């Protein structure tokens, strides 16, 4: 789960990372009021779950409340990478301007099986680009969870950032804070880009990004409440609540599969035979008929869908249970979208028998099913 910048920065601040004074608003009038309280010189920042907000015109400086209000009128409602801006963060401008911008993040290095701190003196810009073009400007240290961040590690990074000795202590506190924030909240990423040296010579986190490990949300009630449902497509939300893994895509062949690996593979094979998947959908292991019904309804609620491909290889999931779910869904939604069903494994035969009365195209192998679904989608156009 992703957090907004303002949420991330507040969590960083709880761990001693200095951030600008700021507040969130969803109206231009509110922005004006906040800007006035903050002394007029502010930055107005779109709060959406994507990077590149600045480049898209969603981050702008204002030198008085009037200007802040004008900017907010423009930024609120703006579309950034398909997401509508519904709130803005109004932050005080860094005092004395910005002398230096660096990149700082904590993430998990899968290969090393440890959290890793990554820093770069080339801050404020797209870090992927830095990694690709000037990898020598990226500095990393791994953190042993049993030891935590050690001061020799932050000294190494501070030196690599080109910071004067006077800043090393504060930098250490910030790195430790960002790591503690990462660990305590079960984050998969805490990122500050940029961490700046202000004109007054102080370190400050101007931007913040944070992703939480969904698997750990059960032990973070406070974070779970921070979820912004506006940032999640309605269909994905419905799927999440039903315990289904669903991601909407742009194609026209709806897919329902059990197991993430097989679901991805089904999409791959659809594409191999010239089709475009409309979604990724994994009903999980041991899905019940009602979950299957929800899945089918979700797929059919996408008007782009011209054919549905159901691919189930039963292990813990049973073919008869899936078949009952399909029938239940078809009782609730009228559709003339053609459906291709391929059942294999546990109780596949029973499932196919249940589906005999329904108007379904059956297939034996995945290739067979994908080809039939691609043909059906073309025929329906």
Partner 1 sequence: MSILVNKDTKLVVQGITGREGQFHTEQMIAYGTPVVAGVTPGKGGIEVEIAGQNVPVFNTVREAVAETEANTSIIFVPARFAVDAIYEAADAGLKLIVCLTEYIPVLDMIEVRAYLDNKGARLIGPNCPGLLTPGEAKVGIIPGSIAMPGPVGVVSKSGTLTYEVIDALTRLGIGQSSCVGVGGDPINGTDFIDVLTMFEADPQTEHIVMIGEIGGNAEEKAAAFIKEHVTKPVTSFIAGRTAPPGRRMGHAGAIVEGKSGTAEGKIAALRAAGIPVAENPDDIAKIVAERMGLV
Q: CB–CB of 354/323 below 8 Å?
A: yes
Kindly tell me which residue out of 14, 21, 39, 52 binds ligand ATP, with binding defined by CB under 6 A.
52
Kindly tell me which residue out of 16, 18, 40, 51 binds ligand ATP, with binding defined by CB under 6 A.
51
User: Is 103 marked active-site?
Assistant: yes
Kindly tell me which residue out of 69, 91, 170, 207 binds Mg ion, with binding defined by CB under 5 A.
207
Q: Which does 265 bind (CB under 5 to 8 A by kind): ligand ATP, Mg ion, partner 1, none?
A: partner 1
Chain residue whose CB lies nearest ligand ATP: 54
Kindly tell me which residue out of 82, 135, 136, 145 binds partner 1, with binding defined by CB under 8 A.
145
Q: Which does 376 bind (CB under 5 to 8 A by kind): ligand ATP, partner 1, Mg ion, none?
A: none
**Beta carbon nearer to partner 1, 33 or 276:** 276
Interaction pattern, residues 164-203, with partner 1; x per rule: CB under 8 A? -------------------x--x-x---------------
**Beta carbon nearer to partner 1, 300 or 363:** 363
Q: How many CB atoms lie within 10 A of CB 112?
A: 11
Count the residues of the shown chain that bind partner 1, applying the rule CB under 8 A: 53
**Beta carbon nearer to ligand ATP, 22 or 314:** 22
Catalytic residue among 5, 69, 191, 231: 191
* Residue 366 is a binding residue for partner 1 (CB under 8 A): yes
- Quickly tell me which residue has 């059919």 as its tokens: 300
DSSP H or E stretch at residue 205: strand 203-205
* Residue 20 is a binding residue for ligand ATP (CB under 6 A): yes
Strands (E), 36-81: 42-46, 59-62, 79-80
Count the residues of the shown chain that bind ligand ATP, applying the rule CB under 6 A: 18
d(CA 124, CA 246): 33
Identify residues 143-202 at the interface with Mg ion (CB under 5 A).
193
User: Is 156 marked active-site?
Assistant: no
249 SS3 class: coil
The rounded Cα 104 to chain-centroid distance in angstroms is 19
Closest by alpha carbon to 72, among 124, 36, 18?
36
Kindly tell me which residue out of 140, 226, 345, 375 binds partner 1, with binding defined by CB under 8 A.
345
d(CA 280, CA 296): 12
Beta carbon of residue 145, minimum distance to ligand ATP (angstroms, whole number): 28
Q: Tally the residues of the chain.
A: 381
Beta carbon of residue 278, minimum distance to ligand ATP (angstroms, whole number): 28
Closest by alpha carbon to 210, among 233, 197, 193?
193
DSSP lists the bridge partners of residue 103 as 120
Task: List Cβ neighbours of 225 (8 Å cut-off, separation of 6 or more).
Answer: none
Kindly tell me which residue out of 286, 301, 332, 378 binds partner 1, with binding defined by CB under 8 A.
286
Identify residues 205-264 at the interface with partner 1 (CB under 8 A).
213-216, 218, 245, 247, 249, 257-264
d(CA 190, CA 187): 7
Catalytic residue among 6, 69, 103, 321: 103
d(CA 363, CA 289): 21
Beta carbon of residue 227, minimum distance to partner 1 (angstroms, whole number): 15
> Which tokens belong to 316?
């813990």
- Quickly tell me which residue has 């690709």 as its tokens: 132
d(CA 117, CA 148): 11
**Beta carbon nearer to partner 1, 36 or 288:** 288
Q: Which does 53 bind (CB under 5 to 8 A by kind): Mg ion, ligand ATP, partner 1, none?
A: ligand ATP
Phi, psi of 359 (to 5 degrees): -90, 85
Catalytic residue numbers? 103, 191
């Amino acid at each position: 789960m992703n957090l907004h910048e303002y949420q991330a920065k507040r969590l960083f601040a709880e761990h001693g990372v200095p951030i600008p004074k700021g507040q969130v608003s969803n109206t231009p009038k509110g922005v004006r009021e906040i800007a006035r309280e903050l002394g007029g010189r502010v930055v107005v920042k779109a709060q959406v779950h994507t990077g590149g907000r600045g480049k898209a015109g969603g981050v702008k400086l204002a030198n008085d409340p009037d200007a802040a209000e004008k900017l907010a009128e423009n930024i609120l409602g703006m579309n950034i990478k398909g997401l509508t801006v519904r709130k803005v963060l109004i932050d005080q401008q860094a005092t004395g301007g910005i002398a230096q911008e660096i990149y700082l993040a904590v993430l998990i290095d899968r290969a090393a099986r440890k959290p890793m701190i990554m820093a770069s003196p080339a801050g404020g810009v797209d870090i992927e680009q830095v990694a690709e073009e000037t990898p020598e400007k990226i500095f990393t240290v791994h953190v042993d969870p049993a030891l935590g961040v050690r001061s020799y590690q932050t000294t190494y990074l501070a030196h690599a950032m080109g910071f004067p000795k006077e800043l090393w202590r504060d930098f250490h506190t910030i790195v430790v804070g960002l790591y503690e924030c990462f660990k305590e909240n079960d984050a998969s990423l805490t990122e500050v880009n940029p961490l700046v040296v202000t004109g007054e010579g102080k370190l400050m986190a101007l931007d913040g990004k944070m992703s939480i490990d969904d698997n750990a949300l059960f032990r973070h009630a406070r974070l779970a409440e921070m979820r912004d449902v506006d940032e999640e497509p309605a269909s994905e939300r419905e799927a999440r609540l039903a315990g289904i893994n669903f991601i909407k895509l742009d194609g026209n062949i709806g897919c329902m599969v059990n197991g993430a690996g097989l679901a991805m593979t089904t999409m791959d094979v659809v594409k191999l035979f010239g089709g475009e998947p409309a979604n990724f959908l994994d009903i999980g292991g041991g899905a019940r008929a009602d979950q299957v019904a929800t899945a089918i309804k979700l797929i059919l609620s996408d008007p782009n869908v011209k054919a549905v491909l159901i691919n189930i290889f039963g292990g813990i999931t049973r073919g008869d249970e899936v078949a009952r779910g399909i029938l239940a869904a078809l009782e609730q939604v009228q559709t003339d979208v053609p459906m291709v069903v391929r059942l294999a494994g546990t109780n596949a035969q029973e499932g196919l028998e249940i589906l005999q009365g329904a108007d379904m195209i059956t297939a034996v192998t995945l290739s067979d099913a994908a080809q039939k679904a691609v043909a059906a989608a073309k025929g329906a156009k």
